[in-house]
Amino acid sequence: MERYHVLEVIGEGSFGRVYKGRRRCGAQVVALKFIPKVGRSEKELKNLQREIEIMRGLHHPNIIQMLDSFETDKEVVVVTDYAEGELFQILEDDGSLPEDQVQTIAAQLVSALYYLHSHRILHRDMKPQNILLGKDGVIKLCDFGFARAMSIHTMVLTSIKGTPLYMSPELVEERPYDHTADLWSVGCILYELFVGTPPFYTSSIFQLVSLIVKDSVKWPKAISPVFKSFLQGLLMKDPRQRLSWPELLSHPFVAGRVTVIDDTEEHGISNPFTTKLSPELQALKEQQVHSLAPRSGQSRILRKARQKMAEEAQKKEDKSVRFSGLPSVVMLKEWLLNGN
């Protein structure tokens, strides 16, 4: 800690605390994330190191920059750029944004995801709470706790990560998924920025899963045709038909606005997700999708919801007023927004 002055707490959560700080003998303002090691499993600490390794290799104006990391006896400390604000807070304060502002944010999110996907990295937890605002309103994607760097022969994933309100149909149905799940989440975020709520919104996880899988999006009258077309592409239920790379960059809503940083050759990255698959890799992907497809059985997401309901019902047993075991809206909304 001899390299930094700790100034004030700016955030707190299950992971630990985030402080505003300043590098000693300099003017650079930073954010310091203190993550306690005590009480964490070996798997959690391993995942934390994986997150740090992923962040260390990312260099993009719309991705929060990791500057340093080190350990003390009791904590892991991650030092990043300091961002002025949060996109989620703007939504809380303003309710929604005009389309031209959403378009500016869209171009920056697309730029950040293009860079990640070109590095064969999936974010897996795209939501307004994980988007910070730097100087002059520059968007900064953060929180790579669920991110996954995929090997050259891994074409799809099956582990369920993310936040229910922003999960794609294939995720809530626990089918194998790829980078297009991130793109669905971007569609949900942009829709929420413009409308004020995500495209599929309810306090019941059972109803939410049904809405995401089966319901059509309700479009506001004020939306322009080009923006609607862009969101329709991102919010396609079938991931094979979803707007993706490289065509996404040419869509009129973002064309010419996206900063494309492609350093795949420099990093020796083969087969980035931002290019079309060769026939051989497409065949490999289809084989993996088929072999990893879920067998019958209730979704873990719904099992988790039932478990939360049971826990809530247990808490209410000692009270005189009973609510038939349904979870409180506040509790369930917290889970829908924050996941896991």
Tens of pLDDT along the chain (340 residues) come to 678 999 999 888 767 899 999 998 888 999 999 999 988 888 888 989 999 999 999 999 999 999 999 998 899 999 999 998 889 888 899 999 999 999 999 999 999 999 999 999 999 999 999 999 988 889 999 999 889 999 888 998 988 888 899 999 999 999 999 999 999 999 999 999 999 999 999 988 889 999 999 999 999 999 999 999 999 999 999 999 999 999 999 999 999 999 999 999 888 998 999 999 989 999 999 999 989 888 765 567 777 777 777 777 777 765 544 444 444 555 555 666 666 5
> What pLDDT, on a 0 to 100 scale, did the predictor assign at position 331?
56
Residue 125 designated active-site: yes
> What pLDDT, on a 0 to 100 scale, did the predictor assign at position 320?
46
Rounded CA-CA distance 153/147 in Å is: 17
What structural domains and CATH numbers belong to the chain?
A: 4-81 (3.30.200.20), 85-278 (1.10.510.10)
Q: At 212, give phi and psi (nearest 5°).
A: -60, -40
Rounded CA-CA distance 101/178 in Å is: 29
> Could you tell me if 80 and 64 are in contact, meaning their C-beta atoms sit under 8 angstroms apart?
yes
Contacts of 307 (CB under 8 A, 6+ apart): none
33 marked among binding-site residues: yes
Rounded CA-CA distance 306/287 in Å is: 33
Residue ranges of alpha helices (H) inside the chain are 42-56, 87-94, 99-118, 169-172, 180-195, 205-214, 225-234, 279-292, 300-316, 329-338
> What pLDDT, on a 0 to 100 scale, did the predictor assign at position 38?
87
> What pLDDT, on a 0 to 100 scale, did the predictor assign at position 310?
75
Rounded CA-CA distance 75/16 in Å is: 9
Rounded CA-CA distance 237/183 in Å is: 12
* pTM across the whole model: 0.87
> What pLDDT, on a 0 to 100 scale, did the predictor assign at position 332?
56
Which of 125, 143, 178, 182 is labelled catalytic? 125
